[in-house]
Chains A and B, each alone.
Chain A
Amino acid sequence: MEGLFRNILYQTKNTYRNKSYFFWVVLYPIVLAAFFYAAFNGMMDIELEDINVGIVEDNPISFILEEIDLLNVEKVREGEIEEKIENEEIDVFIDNDLNLLVKKSGIKQTIVKEIVEQIKQMVKLNRPMDSYDFSIDYTISKNQQANPMIIIFYSLIAMVSAYGVFSGIESVYYIQANLSNIGVRINATPLKKSNFLVAGIIVALVLNLISNFLLIIFIQYVLKLHLFHEIKYSTIFILLGNLFGVLLGVLIGVSNKLNPNTKTALGIIVLLFLSFLSGMMSPDIKIIIESKFPIISRINPINIITSNLYRINLLGNTRFVNEGMIILSIYCMVLVIISYFFLRRRTYDSI
């Protein structure tokens, strides 16, 4: 046990003193957050107003919609639906099959979509509508900067939570005799590889969580964007993101003989690409992927974290939380299993 603590101590020192690690994991995300804020600040200053919803006279859920404070329900005739949407007199039209008709995507449309989805689910479950207060989930976001642009910040946090990838790559680098000189030395000592690796994973998780925490503090208190209302699930998703990142790093580190810089670049590319698909560069990308390639959206780990952080904190919707946690856990297990097959090798063909 003492050996594990010594490894943790020295690996912590070796990691946090690494200037490039400090830049990429601590400074870069804060700079990026500040940059996003400067670029999109004006677009996020919209306070959420009531949502104008159009329905026809005999809409089957009109009585539920009318009970929700957030919604201004307007009954429109068939012939004027398109005109009212075009003129933005109504934000969303809900037809009798509970399909939505919108002019553009946005927070208002997303909220109505979530409400309708919940109503559909209640109907399927045969639960009485009057037992459910649909407004509770959504009104918490009323004073929130309520724009899809906020997705960028959730996506940024999701990406940064997976930045443990760098430490994962480094930990493996030090214990593989075929990858590094230190690996040769360490393999000649009585130290068990697993001790070093476990210590490395703990260090990576702790340091990365600290950097995530610093980023969130920066966003919360410097940029004054209040992204987190649901702490428990947010923490779980950030933790899973960290674990995923570190284990991805271990796999990238152990599975090939590329030099460490190339591996780090590979890690960055993978994370940036996944973050791009989950809307970090533009929320429109996320919307396009979700509508055109929903499966990609559903299995993209960064998107799982982004969407869940967005849903649970901004929309108060915890419906997809379990699915997200399960998928991320499966990713982690798969990464562990594959890495194990590379790591269990104890001697090498060449060094």
Chain B
Amino acid sequence: MIVEVRNLVKRYKELIALDHFNMEVEEGEILGLLGPNGCGKTTAINCILALLNYDKGEIQLFGKKMTPNSYEIKRQIGLVPQEVSVFENLTVRENVDYFCGLYVDDKNLRKRYVEEAIEFVGLKDYVKFYPKKLSGGLKRRLNIACGIAHKPKLIFLDEPTVAVDAQSRNFILNGIKRLNQEGSTIIYTTHYLEEAEMICKRIIIMDNGRNIVSGTKEELKEMITTTEKIVVGFLSIDDETASKMKKIPHVIDVERDGEDFVIKFENGFNNIANLLEFIKSNNLSYVKLYSQLPTLNDVFLELTGKELRD
């Protein structure tokens, strides 16, 4: 294990930010910490990095206890904080060089790493720009370059795509996959489901400072009763007929929004065929009908009783 966190408890006065939080990260994986804002993701990272005091628990990185003075461990870590954390009066290249130089002493090696990091995040045309002249997306890329230039073994990315445009987001996500392919282990916090689904090999779902469940995407989805959702929109339907839908085999819930319905099915098969049979027997006409596999939001909803973006 490259990271081991056991029963971590962190209190802010009366508020329990982390409540016996556990986490294990294997070398080479991308682990997603998924949860709503304020659930304790950043607090967990700050405790792991020995930036925050904690009340209870054990934290080990690379098999050693992490403390503020663990400089050798810190040398192997890269952090991309949630907020853009760069010097406003240093250029793009100077910022990357400064932070890289805190880890890499060899001048020539550092020069190469800096150029590679700048290229990696696509800021080659902006090396002489000051951060204030960069767009939000480009600033985020600079933020990433400063955290990864020294080629760390373990990278913490704390919501690196918050408030960036779609193009930059895709660029960043693809970059993270590449970092992982090049050998870095990645801990990625986000409250965006699609991102976690897209890049993470394993996911820990957090809520109220606790890890509710962890596993691969597939494992998580298997944990819930809903295995399929079918969206159907009718031309018109009366309340009595609508209420009969709950009697279709394997239906566990029906949500209605006007003439549109989301029908959730538990384990089973032939769900669409059963629904079409229901439509035919009730002389209904539909304008749309499609099937969806459950998302991580469904997992979160079923486990916590609330939407991830509540």
B81 and A181 contacting across the interface, CB-CB below 8 Å: yes
* CB-based nearest B residue for A350: B12
Nearest Cβ in chain A — how far from B56, in angstroms? 15
- Taking A185-B79, A189-B74 as contacts, is the C-beta distance between A17 and B89 under 8 angstroms? yes
Nearest Cβ in chain A — how far from B78, in angstroms? 9
Of the listed stretches A44-52, A87-95, A110-118, A341-349, chain B binds A341-349
Nearest Cβ in chain A — how far from B151, in angstroms? 14
B49 and A188 contacting across the interface, CB-CB below 8 Å: yes
Of the listed stretches B100-108, B232-240, B273-281, chain A binds B100-108
A181 and B85 contacting across the interface, CB-CB below 8 Å: yes
Residues of A within 8 A of B12 (CB): 349-350
Asked if B192 is an interface residue, CB under 8 A from chain A, the answer is no
Residues of A within 8 A of B102 (CB): 3, 186, 189-191
Contact string against A for B residues 81-101, beta-carbon threshold 8 Å, 1 for contact and 0 otherwise: 101111111100010001101
Q: Chain B interface mostly helix, strand, loop or mixed?
A: loop
* CB-based nearest A residue for B12: A350
Interface of A toward B, CB cutoff 8 Å: 2-3, 6, 10, 13-15, 17-18, 177, 180-182, 184-192, 346-351
Residues of B within 8 A of A17 (CB): 89-90
- Docked pose: A15 CA to B90 CA in angstroms: 9
Contact string against A for B residues 26-54, beta-carbon threshold 8 Å, 1 for contact and 0 otherwise: 00000000000000000000100111110
Nearest Cβ in chain B — how far from A281, in angstroms? 33
- Taking A184-B81, A350-B52 as contacts, is the C-beta distance between A190 and B75 under 8 angstroms? yes
Interface of B toward A, CB cutoff 8 Å: 12, 46, 49-53, 68-69, 71-72, 74-75, 77, 79, 81, 83-90, 94, 98-99, 101-103, 105, 146-147, 156
A sample of 21 inter-chain contacts (CB < 8 A) reads: A3-B102, A10-B90, A10-B98, A13-B94, A14-B90, A18-B89, A184-B79, A184-B81, A184-B85, A185-B79, A185-B81, A185-B147, A188-B74, A188-B77, A190-B102, A191-B102, A346-B68, A347-B51, A347-B52, A349-B12, A351-B52
B90 and A185 contacting across the interface, CB-CB below 8 Å: no
- Docked pose: A18 CA to B86 CA in angstroms: 14
B74 and A190 contacting across the interface, CB-CB below 8 Å: yes
Additional pairs, 5, CB under 8 Å, beyond known A181-B83, A188-B79, A350-B52? A13-B89, A14-B89, A185-B79, A187-B51, A347-B53
